[in-house]
Structure 1
Amino acid sequence: MSVSPAVFGLIALALASGLVAGVFLTFSDFVMKSLIACAPTTGTQAMQSINRKVYKSLFMILLMGLVPVSTLVSVYSAVFLTGNLQWILITAGVLYCVGVFGVTAIRNVPMNHRLDALAHGSAEAGVYWPEYVLGWVRWNHVRWVTALAVSTCYMVAAVHVAAQTG
């Protein structure tokens, strides 16, 4: 029994977007709860450090790399595929670009930049910290749920392709 390269590619996309969902879920589930339980100066300092380190991480490669790949898969699907498979793959790409990357760029990153600009231990940082956590986690929930939906779309597409070619 042989499995088509398309199935492997779709499984890879499902796993990659699932990893992105998992990282976001980790923050929503317990990292941010732990940081808000700390003193505002401690939580702020830890989050500032996390936000600076993330740019040189494997996570960032996945987060950013999935944008062009998901876009290409969506465009390919719109042009060359039909039926349910076409719509599943277009949906995955749109969800990723809007609900994961778009929310990150428009909501979470600006909050991170504002937090980073505040002086460590300042009164302003202490006042902003609870507001930051509330808003950041709210939008982070959108990101992990959307990334999980994207992963599901890619896995369903892989099963669909495997059934057609098997």
Structure 2
Amino acid sequence: MNATLAAWSAAVTLVVTGAIAGVYYAFSVAVMPGLNAADAGTAIRAMTSINQRIQNPLFFVTFSGPLVAATVTGVFLLILGKRSAGVLFLVAAGVYLVGAFIPTVVVNVPMNETLDAAGVPTDPAEAVRVWASYSSAWTWWNSLRAGASLISLLLAGLGVYLSGR
């Protein structure tokens, strides 16, 4: 095991964790508020379209990358004797797993699938009710994912700092 491999792995961790944190952050502070400003039927159609198109290989790498890369980096650093840095990367992976990965699989994706399956209600009042319920809960969970991803990024950054000491 050499330090160059650990450094590259750490760099990948920072990039993918920063990227996914940015996605979640953007949804919470811009996309969802923007959709909330539209009429409910339009918001439902737009969100369904986004959810269908976000399922692509690049997003999958970005979504799973923090968990895999932080874990691999943590192990590499432990092997290199950089215990504190390695532990920080493993904690970063754990925070991402519990705060972003699991909520995505258990909460946000099932909510997306339910919204997609239901379609846009023909009754405008029902569309407003469906969207308000979905948007409120989905955004809360998404904000949790954003926060966990940002904490994971911070921990990985501290790990990089400690690995160079």
AA paired with 1:132?
Y
**Does the 8 Å CA contact 1:32/1:137 hold for their aligned counterparts?**
yes
Paired with 2:101 and 2:128, the residues of 1 have a C-alpha distance of: 28
Q: Give the 3 Å change call, closer, same or farther, for CA 79–10 of structure 1 in structure 2.
A: closer
Residue 151 of structure 1 corresponds to 153
Q: Give the 3 Å change call, closer, same or farther, for CA 155–21 of structure 1 in structure 2.
A: same
Residue 129 of structure 1 corresponds to 131
- Structural mapping, 1:10-159, within 5 Å: 10-56=10-56, 58-74=58-74, 76=75, 80=79, 83-123=83-123, 124-159=126-161
Q: Give the 3 Å change call, closer, same or farther, for CA 17–131 of structure 1 in structure 2.
A: same
Paired with 2:158 and 2:144, the residues of 1 have a C-alpha distance of: 21
Normalising by structure 2, we get a TM-score of: 0.85
Shift of 1:11: 2.1
Residue 160 of structure 1 corresponds to 162
Paired with 2:83 and 2:164, the residues of 1 have a C-alpha distance of: 16
Normalising by structure 1, we get a TM-score of: 0.85
Contiguous gaps of at least 5 residues in structure 2:
none
Q: How high is the sequence identity, in percent, across the aligned residues? A: 28
Contiguous gaps of at least 5 residues in structure 1:
none
AA paired with 2:116?
D
AA paired with 1:112?
N
AA paired with 1:92?
A
Paired with 1:63 and 1:113, the residues of 2 have a C-alpha distance of: 18
